[in-house]
A and B are shown apart, each in its own frame.
Chain A
């Protein structure tokens, strides 16, 4: 059922060496609008020391704006930005102990790799010798040894990315902000960089606030995911929380594949949908309360028709490599099921769903927005994948 805030597992991980982990950044009731249009609507978010936190949401939901408010490049219309207990609403960016990896890297083209990375230290008048040592340390951390005198304009996207990370980390900020840093890289490089970023975060212990619209990236990299939509936080939690216990239909639909159905909570541990009554593990709803029901495609078992809790006909089967994606018509609602067993198109089958595979959500403004899989096609899904390269060219 819906849990407030973070799961018990996460609360435990907030404890470190017996002491409660420190809050580094707190956003309190932050609202922001541009030209009369609300972009952030009462954002409340605590970010902890040492955390890899991801802001996840479709393009235009306000992720960059949130990051820019923390960096000091935008000012909230309302609310407070707290940094290590101190209100920093009016502190200019250069005084904040926060560094940013910009979406398009923002390399200084007139400086070579060494000077780009050395930039923050030169600003602080660090002795030459120390600068040299630190830059080389950074270069080896991002695996660019020997690139000192290369022009940044001669580097590939992935290499510029690494220089940008080294430059942002050399000043040892408390927090690193990363705005879709992997968006422009190809898939293979992107996977490698995901691992590397995660490693760097662990090694340095710096809090990372990472922005992406890619749910898979968010799930694999984060300690905490903040799902945003239309300028509001929809859910905060661990990747497991977000996936297994989505708070509303938006989160369920945005993260992974899901069958979202209208249902009625009959009583505790008992829900009715698709004309059938199911055992479930959720409680605490009012009797007869209308709810949204989520069943993940991989949590459904295909069984013989007479043994099924639901019965229907297979309308399409797609081979995906590891599994098949099967679309089943059940009383007019098209379900998606992922299975390793082959079934043929046109076959009549039964579905079996374990009680803990059923997740109940309260009705929200997003209820009913996401239909079934009747118009589903993999290619279409990929085409309509938000963003990728269509973003942020104001």
Chain B
């Protein structure tokens, strides 16, 4: 064997271990969702069943938690995307000596453990609502949305910052020069430019919110979301119904990923078509110039 084959064999072995570690547990879990055995297992297969899925759908708490999770996710998107955008726009404008200080503040939630964010949110709103007599705001869903948004906004901000870096200031000036107000420039030129970032940060925000546990478990108080219900179930004992939930989540994400890929491919194709058109126009143009100069 030469050294190249040795390297390749080692590489293959490493990859097998790596992806085995990554996917093994998920595959085991996935298969166990269809096994009749009441303990989630792949071996031996005792029989094929969809019973666990049925159990899942009849689980009141789960369905209730799911509704809350979706509701929270929606509000997190509504809050985090605008906050992240404002944070990113402020970053480039803030008085330069304050900028690093500001940066530390708004990025710190990304690096703060989720439990601490959850705890501090509850403590703050608990105190605030008591002293200001607005106890109705001391509400699990409300605080979960705020707690999650504090760091999800920072994710969004980082995405907006990288998109804004690509913004050509001349676009803004062109708008102004044509008579638009700053506000019109914002809505007609900047926002459309940011649309891809808005879309992807919304997706990111929703998914981060949906699967969050550490912050939620504190901020939600006595209420439930899908993840807190799930955590409770998992602690009580293992049942294949949980595997079934995982299978459903995987299925939904796979479908989502496929749709995303299809849309992306179509966009790529359209873009390519436009570039081809430009190229053809370029050629026609040269030809017509050629002709014009000949006649002259």
* A and B co-occur in one complex: no
**Interface positions of A (Cβ within 8 A of B):** none
Taking beta carbons and an 8 Å cutoff, which residues of B are in contact with A?
none
